[in-house]
Amino acid sequence: MTLEATAAPVEPETASREEDLYTAKPWTLIWWRFRKHKLAVASLIFMIVLGIMAIFADFISPYTPFSFSKLNTFAPPSVVRVIHDGSLHRPFIYAVKRKRDPETARVLYEEDKTKVLPIEFFVKGQDYKFLGLVPTQMHLFGVSDRKQQINLLGTDSLGRDLFTRLLYGARVTLSAGLIGVAFSFVLGLALGSIAGYYGGWWDSGIQRLMEFIRSVPTIPLWMGLAAALPVAWDPLFVYVLITIILSLIGWTHLARVVRGRFLSLRTEDYVLASRLCGASEYRIVTKHMLPAMTSYIIAAMTLAVPEMILGETALSFLGLGLRPPVVSWGVLLQDAQNLRSISLAPWLLSPGIAVVLVVLAFNFLGDGLRDAADPYGH
Amino acid sequence: MLGFIVRRTLWAIPTLAFVSFISFVIIQLPPGDFVTAYVAQLRNGGEYVTEIEEAMMRAQYGLNDPLLVQYWRWISAIIFHGDFGRSLEWNAPVSDLIWDRLALTLIISTLSMVFTWIIAIPVGVYSATRQYSFFDYIFTIFGFLGKGIPDFLLALILMWVAFIWMNLDVGGLISPQFEGKPWDTAKIINMLSHIWIPLVVLATGGAAGLIRVMRANMLDELRKPYVETAYAQGFSERTVVWRYPVRVALNPFISTVGWALPALFSGDVITAVVLNLPTTGPLLLQALKMQDMYLAGSFILILSVFTVIGTLVSDILLAWSDPRIRYS
Amino acid sequence: MSDMTPVPDDVLLSVNGLKKYFPINHGWLQRQVGEVKAVDDVTFDIKKGETFGLVGESGSGKSTVARLILRAYTLTDGSIRFRRADDSITELGGLDEKQLRPIRSEMQMIFQDPYSSLDPRMRLLDLIGEPLVIQGKLTKDEIRDRVQELLGLVGLRPEYVMRYPHAFSGGQRQRIGIARALALNPSFIAADEAVSALDVSVAAQNINLLQDLQEKFGLTYMFITHDLGMVEHISDRIGVMYVGRMVELGDTAEIFRKPLHPYTEALLSAVPQPDPRRRKEGKRIILKGEIADPANPPSGCAFNPRCPYATDLCRTTIPALREISGRQVRCHHAEELDLTGVGE
Amino acid sequence: MTNTTTNLPPERLLELKDVNVQFELREGTVRAVNGVSYHVNRGEVLGIVGESGSGKSVTVRSIMRLLPKNTSRDDGSILFQPKPGEEIRIDGLSSKSKKIRDLRGDAIGMIFQEPMTALSPVHTIGTQIMRTILLHRNCSKKEARERAIELLRKVQLPRPEQLVDNYPHQLSGGMRQRAMIALALSCDPVLLIADEPTTALDVTTEAQILDLLRELQAETGMSIIFITHNFGVVADIADRVAVMYLGQVVETGTVDDIFYNPQHPYTRALLQSVPRLGQSPVHRLKTIPGMVPDPFNVPRGCTFNPRCEFAVQGTCNVEVPPLVRFSDDQQARCHLAGKLPQEVA
C-alpha cells in the first residue's frame, strides 16, 4: 500500500486536559470514578488500617490473647484521658480498684483518681514471636505497672484483654472471609465461565445446579456440614474446612456474574471483530473478555466477603464453626450469648460491632467498585 | 400457562430428590453412626455391650448396606409411612418432635415476610421517586445497617435494650408463668410482647435487602419510555408511578419470594437460638451437636422442601404476574 | 460441489446455495423445537473491484450472509469460493478456525455499531494493530508506524495512537473500524450497515472515505444496508433479500429503473424521498401486512401475502431464481408484470 | 384558567416564542434549546428536522412539560389555543400541575420513537387505552372499551376485538406503533406530537405508518408536530418545516420552500448530502465538514459557522445572525440569507 495525502479532513487538535482523559488506562478511569465515591474510599482506608492491625496484631496489642488474670475479670474498658487535676497531661488511664458489692457479691471496678498510669509506647510486655518468627517482648503501647492493665475494650470472664483478642480474632475472621471468597472465586469462575462460554447443555446443567443450591436454606446446610466436622480435629484444619463449607454455597453468586458477563461479551461486536482478524480463542479470552470482566469480578468478590464473614461469625457463635482456643470474632461473641453476660459486661458485644463495621465497609467498597467497574458505560 | 406450571412442578421433583439425598449425606457425614452413639449411650448407662452385639445391631439397622440402599430405606419410610425415624436424644419418633416447631417457624417466617413487604415496597418506591432526598439517604443508611448487622447480634441488642429500658425479659415465646396454661387474653398479650423481637429482627434483615432491590428496580423502570408515555396521557405522578413502573418492578420482587424463604429460615435458626424460641432453630442446633442424625436430617430435609416449594410457588406467581413470561 | 461451474476470472467471491438455519430451542431442557431459515439458498458472485449492495428489511438475513461469508458462523449448506491474493480459489465453507486464519487477512468487516465494535479497553495502537500483532510479521515499531499511517489514511491524527476509543465520536469510531479493517491489506471488505447509525452529514463523509479507499487500493466491497438511497449511490450491482432469500439480483441502475420483482418495486416506492412533489403525485405502493416471520414463513413465495399481484401459484409453489434479461429474479410472474422503478 | 383576551390569531393552534431549555450535566451546562420560536396552525403538519443533539425532542417535551429533573433553565412563551378564543399559557407550568395534566392525553397526544418500549409491558393494549379515556372522559368502563376497540380499528389493526386484550410483546413493531397512535388519539387530540415515530421501523412499515398518519390527519383535522432526522420523511408528511441545529431553529418555511429554495447553508448542505433515489449517480456526496460540536462548547456567533462553506470571518464567527424573513413566512437565521449563490435544487 502506498500512502499519499489523506482522504478525509483531519480533525482539529484538542486541549491537553481532555487528552489525559482520552489516553487514560481503563484502571485509571475506574480509579477516578471510584474516588468520587467518598464512602467507598473511606471504607478502603478503614479496611487497609484494619488489615495492617490484624497482620501486626501481636505487636499492636498490649497483651497476648490467652494471658488471663483472675483479679481482672469483667473489667470495663479503660478510659483514656488527657486531663488530670484540671491540667493537660500526656494520654493516661487511672488505675482501678477491685471491690465487691456487699449485697450482690458482684465485682465492681472503681477508678482511683489519684493514681495516674501514663500510656507508654514500645513497652516491654509479655513474650511473643513477632509475626510468628522473631521472639520479642516489644508491644506498641501499654502501661508500666505490674498489677494494672490497660484494657481498651475491657476484659472477659477470665480477665483476658478483649482488645487484644479482637485483633487476633480479626486475623482469623478476615482471612476466613478472604480465603472463603478465594475458594468460591475458583469454583465460580470455573463453572461460570464454562456455563457462559460453552453454553448449551453445560449452561443448563450448571444453571440448574446453581438454582438448586440457592433453594437450600444456607444456615441449616452450613450447620449440618459444620456439625459433621469432628471436634477432635486440628483447629487449623477445621478452619480451612469451614471456609470451604462457606464457599460451597457462596460461589453461585460469583458464577452468575461471570456467566452473565461471558454471555454478553461473547456477542459483543468487538469480540467478533477480533475473531475475524484471526485471533485465537486464547487471545480473545485473555485480551478481550477477561480484561472486561476483571473489574466486575473484583466488585462481586468484594461483595461476597461480608457473606463469608457473617457465615463464619454465625457458625462460630452457635458453636458449630471455629472453637476455642481459636480466637475469631464469632468465637468471641459466644461469650455474649446470653442476656446476663451482656447486661453485666456490654463491652463483650464489641466484636459484634467490629463485624458490623467490616461488613459495612466491604459493602460500601463493593458498591463503589461496582459503580466504577464500567467506566465506558453510556 | 398450565403447561408451564406442570413443567415447573415436574422439575421440582428431581430437585426434591436431590435435596433429600444431600440431607441424607449430611446426616451420614459425622464419623461413627447411630449405633456408635447408641452403644456409647448404653455404656454410659452402665450396660455392657459386646463388639458382636454392636455389629449385630448394625446389621439389624442395615447400616452395613451401601449408602444408596440406606438412603432408599430412609426416604421410602418418609414418603410412604411418614416415618422420619427416631430421635436418639429424645427417645421419641422425630415426627412427634418437629411438626409444632415447624409450624411456628413457618408462622414466624411468613409473618416477617409480610412485614418485610409492607415496609420494603413503599419505602423502595419512595426512595426511587425521591432519589437523593433526605429520606432516601435515611433509608439507604437503614438498608446498609440492616445488611451489615447479623441477625443474632440484632436479636441480642434488642433483647438487651428491652431488658434495660423496658425491663422486659423477652426471651422465649411466652413467659415461664404462662407455660402450660390455657390460652387467654393475658397469655396472648404476653406472647405478643415476645414475638415482636423475632419479627423485627427477621423483617429488618429482609427489608434492608429488599428496599435496595426495589429501589434499584424502580430506578431502572422509571427511566423506561413507557413511563413517559404514561405521563403524556395526563396521569398524575402517583397514578403513573403506582400503576406502571411499580407494577413492573414488582415482578423480580415476586420471583425473590422463593429465595426469601431460605434466607428467612436461615435467619430464624440463629435468631431462635439467641431468643430461645420454640422453633426449629434450637432443636436443630441441639440435634446437630448431639449427632441426633434422624432429627437433624429431617429438619434439614423439611426446611429444604419448604424452600423448594417456595421457589416453585414464586416462579408460578411470577409467570402469572408477568405476561411476557406467561406467553413465551 | 463438483458440478459447480468454475469461478470466472473477474469474480472475487462466488457464493452458491448458501444456507444458514438457526435452531429454535425451547423449554427447560433447551430442546430444539424448530429452526429459523435465516439464509435459504442464496447464490451470487461479487466481481473484483466492484461494490455489491445487499438490501433488505429486518429479518431478511442480509447481515447473516455477511457473517457467513466472513465465516463468523458455520454454514448449514452451500459453498463460498474466494479468490486469494495469489489468484487461487479457496472454498471457505468447510474450513475450521485454524485453516481460516491466513485467509482472514484478505477479507474484513466494518460493523454497524461504532460503539460496540471497538474494545473500549484498548488504545488505538492495540486496536488497529491487533491484526498485525496476530499475523506476527512486524516488530513493535513497525506496527506503530503502520497504525499511524492507517490513521492518517482515514483522516484521523496519527498522534491519536495512545487514545482509547471513548475519546471519539460515532463517525470517528467508524473510521477507526475502517482503519483496522484495512490494516492487513484485504481485498474484500463487508460493510454491515456501516453508516446507518450516523447522522446524515457524518454518514456522507464516511461514504466518501470508503469510495476513496476503494479507488486507491482496488478494494471490493459488499455493502449491506436498508438505505436504498445509499445503496444506489455506492453500488454497482445489488441483491435484494426478503426473508432469507434473494429475490432479485442485478445491475443497480437497471433494478432501480425497472424492478422485476414486486417486492423490489414496493421497497423502492416506500423509500421516503426529499421531494415533496412526489407525495402530491400519490403513486406510492403501500404494502399491506407485516414482514413474514422467518421462523414461520408462509407457504409458496414468502412475499405472497403482501404481494398485490399474487396468484394461486404464488401461494403454493416457491419460485426459483431465474435469469431474465441479464438479471436474476425469484418471481413466477416476472415476465408478465410491468413494474415501476424510480428516476426520470 | 383560560385567557379570553387572546393574542393569537384564530388559525393558530400553538405558538412558541424564544423558548430556552438548559440541563446541568456533570460535564457542564447543556443549552439544549436556545431561543426557539415556531408555531403550528390548525390542521397543518409541522415537520421538525435536525441531526442528533439539535434539541428537536427537548423542545416538544417543553410543550408537554415533560422535561427531565436536571433542567436548570426553562423559559420562553408557549401559547396553546385548543379552540379559537381559548388561549392557554403552557410555559411556566410545573410538570405536575393539573392544568397541563388535563391537556396531556386529551387535547395533546404524543407518540414516541421506540414502539417496543413505549407501551407498558404488563398491561394489555386495551387497558392502557381505556385508562386514558376514563381519565379524561366521563364514561363507563364498557364505553371506554368499545372506544378502545374503535380506535384500534381506526388505526387499521386487524381483529381489534382480540388485539384489545393482547399485550404489547405479542405485537410486531409496526403494530405496536399503531397501538401507540391509537393510545395518543384516544381523546381526539387537536395536536399530535410525533417524536421520530418511524425511525425504528423498516421502510415498508414506515410507509404504512406515514400513510396512516396522513389519513388520520385528513379525517380528524388535527395538527401534527412531526419530528424526524430524515428529510425524506418530512417531505412525505409535512406542510411546513422547521430545520434545527444545535438548539436553534435555523430555517422555517413551507415544505416546498425548504426543499426547492432553501435559504440557510445548513439546510442546503444537508439536502445535498442525502443521496436521492433515481438520480443520475454523482460520484461524491456533498459533505458538511467537521462534526456537530459537542453541546458544552457551542461556537460563538452563528453556531454553524465552523462548518459553513460560506462563512465570513469577522461576521459569522462573531455576531449572532438575525432572523431574515422572506415571502411566504420563510425565515432563515443567517447573515447571508438571500445573498447565497443560487443553485439548482
Interchain pair A356, B149: CB under 8 A: yes
DSSP code per residue over C64-79:
HHHHHHTTSS--SEEE
**Cα radius of gyration rounded to whole Å, chain B:** 24
Average the pLDDT over A159-164 and give the result.
85
* Structural domain contains residue C97: yes
* Structural domain contains residue B138: yes
pLDDT of A12 > 80? The answer is no
As a whole number of angstroms, the distance between CA C231 and CA D274 comes to 12
Phi/psi for C251 (5° steps) reads -65, 135
pLDDT of D202 > 80? The answer is yes
Q: Which pairs from A360-363 meet CB under 8 Å and 24+ separation?
A: A360/A43, A360/B144, A360/B145, A360/B147, A360/B148, A361/A43, A361/A46, A361/A47, A361/A50, A362/A43, A362/A47, A362/A302, A362/A303, A362/A305, A362/A306, A362/A309, A363/A303, A363/A306, A363/B144, A363/B147, A363/B148
CB D34 within 8 A of CB D248: yes
Three-state SS at A19:
helix
Stretch 202-221 of chain C: residues touching chain D, C-beta under 8 Å: 202-205, 207-208, 211
Q: What is the pLDDT of residue A87?
A: 82
Average the pLDDT over C308-335 and give the result.
91
CB B230 within 8 A of CB D121: no
pLDDT of D189 > 80? The answer is yes
As a whole number of angstroms, the distance between CA A191 and CA A248 comes to 12
Q: List the single residue in C277, C291, C342 with the smallest CB-CB distance to D277.
A: C342
CB C261 within 8 A of CB C270: no
Phi/psi for B102 (5° steps) reads -65, -40
pLDDT of D345 > 60? The answer is no
* Structural domain contains residue B1: no
pLDDT of A38 > 90? The answer is no
CB D247 within 8 A of CB D33: yes
Interchain pair B304, A336: CB under 8 A: no
State whether residue B150 sits within 8 Å of chain A by CB. Answer: yes
Interchain pair A313, B299: CB under 8 A: no
pLDDT digits (tens, 9 = 90+) for C96-117: 888 998 899 899 999 988 888 8
Q: What is the pLDDT of residue B302?
A: 81
Residue A11 with chain D: CB contacts under 8 Å: 290-291
State whether residue B169 sits within 8 Å of chain A by CB. Answer: yes
Q: Are strands A81-84 and A87-100 parallel, antiparallel or unpaired?
A: antiparallel
* Structural domain contains residue C339: yes
State whether residue C27 sits within 8 Å of chain B by CB. Answer: yes
State whether residue D289 sits within 8 Å of chain A by CB. Answer: yes
The CATH number linked to C238 is 3.40.50.300
Averaged pLDDT score across all residues of chain C: 89
Interchain pair A26, C116: CB under 8 A: no
> What is the nearest CA distance from D30 to chain A, expressed in angstroms?
17
Q: What is the pLDDT of residue A17?
A: 65
pLDDT of D5 > 80? The answer is no
Residue D291 with chain A: CB contacts under 8 Å: 11
Residue D121 with chain B: CB contacts under 8 Å: 226, 248, 322-324
CA atoms within 13 A on the CB side of A285: 10
Interchain pair B150, A342: CB under 8 A: no
pLDDT of A3 > 60? The answer is no
Q: How far is CA C186 from the centre of its chain?
A: 16
> What is the nearest CA distance from A290 to chain B, expressed in angstroms?
27
Stretch 55-94 of chain C: residues touching chain D, C-beta under 8 Å: 57-58
Q: Is the pTM above the cut of 0.90?
A: no
Q: What is the pLDDT of residue C30?
A: 60
Q: What is the pLDDT of residue A76?
A: 82
Interchain pair C119, A292: CB under 8 A: yes
Average the pLDDT over D115-130 and give the result.
90
Interchain pair A364, B18: CB under 8 A: no
* Structural domain contains residue B191: yes
CB B320 within 8 A of CB B2: no
Interchain pair C208, D276: CB under 8 A: no
Q: What is the pLDDT of residue D173?
A: 86
Q: How many residues does chain C have?
A: 344
Q: Which residue has the cell 442480509?
A: C62
Could you give the ipTM of this predicted complex? 0.82
Q: What is the pLDDT of residue D25?
A: 82
Interchain pair A212, B149: CB under 8 A: no
Which of B83, B84, B298, B112 has its CA nearest to residue B195?
Answer: B112
Averaged pLDDT score across all residues of chain A: 81
Q: Give chain A's domains with CATH numbers.
A: 79-150 (no CATH), 164-373 (1.10.3720.10)
> What is the nearest CA distance from A301 to chain C, expressed in angstroms?
21
Interchain pair D273, C232: CB under 8 A: no
CB C62 within 8 A of CB C235: no
* Structural domain contains residue C194: no
Cβ contacts of residue A186 below 8 Å, gap of 6+? Answer: none
* Structural domain contains residue B63: no
Interchain pair C276, D235: CB under 8 A: yes
Average the pLDDT over C174-183 and give the result.
93
Residue B11 with chain C: CB contacts under 8 Å: 28
Interchain pair D208, C201: CB under 8 A: no
Residue C303's domain comprises 1-106+227-344
Q: How many residues does chain B have?
A: 328
* Structural domain contains residue B187: yes
As a whole number of angstroms, the distance between CA D61 and CA C34 comes to 45
State whether residue C282 sits within 8 Å of chain B by CB. Answer: no
Chains sharing 3 or more CB pairs under 8 A with chain D: A, B, C
Identify the closest residue of chain C to B11 by CA–CA distance. C28
Q: Which of A234-238, C18-22, C139-143 has the lowest mean pLDDT?
A: A234-238
Q: Sign (positive/negative) of CA torsion A359, A364, A368, A371?
A: positive
The CATH number linked to B245 is 1.10.3720.10
Q: What is the pLDDT of residue A5?
A: 36
Give the best residue of B227, B229, B246 to mutate against chain D (max D CB count within 10 A): B229
Confidence of residue C69 (pLDDT cuts 50, 70, 90): very high
Interchain pair B152, A218: CB under 8 A: no
> What is the nearest CA distance from D117 to chain A, expressed in angstroms?
19
Chains sharing 3 or more CB pairs under 8 A with chain B: A, C, D
Between C and D, how many residue pairs show a Cβ–Cβ distance under 8 A? 136
Q: Give chain D's domains with CATH numbers.
A: 2-107+189-277+285-333 (3.40.50.300)
Q: Which of A257-266, C121-130, C264-273 has the lowest mean pLDDT?
A: A257-266
> What is the nearest CA distance from C85 to chain D, expressed in angstroms?
28
> What is the nearest CA distance from A329 to chain D, expressed in angstroms?
43
Interchain pair B270, A364: CB under 8 A: no
- Count of domains for chain B: 1
Residue B207's domain comprises 94-327
- Count of domains for chain C: 1
Identify the closest residue of chain B to A232 by CA–CA distance. B31
Interchain pair C27, B7: CB under 8 A: yes
Residue A23 with chain C: CB contacts under 8 Å: 123, 162-164, 167
Confidence of residue D344 (pLDDT cuts 50, 70, 90): very low
pLDDT of C1 > 70? The answer is no
What is the 3 state secondary structure string of A198-256?
A: HCHHHHHHHHHHHHHHHCCCHHHHHHHHHHCCCCCCCHHHHHHHHHHHHHHHHHHHHHH
Confidence of residue C343 (pLDDT cuts 50, 70, 90): low
Interchain pair B11, C27: CB under 8 A: no
Interchain pair A376, C29: CB under 8 A: no
Identify the closest residue of chain D to B327 by CA–CA distance. D170
* Structural domain contains residue C184: no
Interchain pair D112, B228: CB under 8 A: yes
Quote the cell numbers at residue A353. Answer: 460491632
Residue B4 with chain C: CB contacts under 8 Å: none
Average the pLDDT over C226-250 and give the result.
92
Which regions in chain B score pLDDT beneath 70? 1, 30-34, 37, 61-62, 168-171, 255-256, 258-259, 324-328
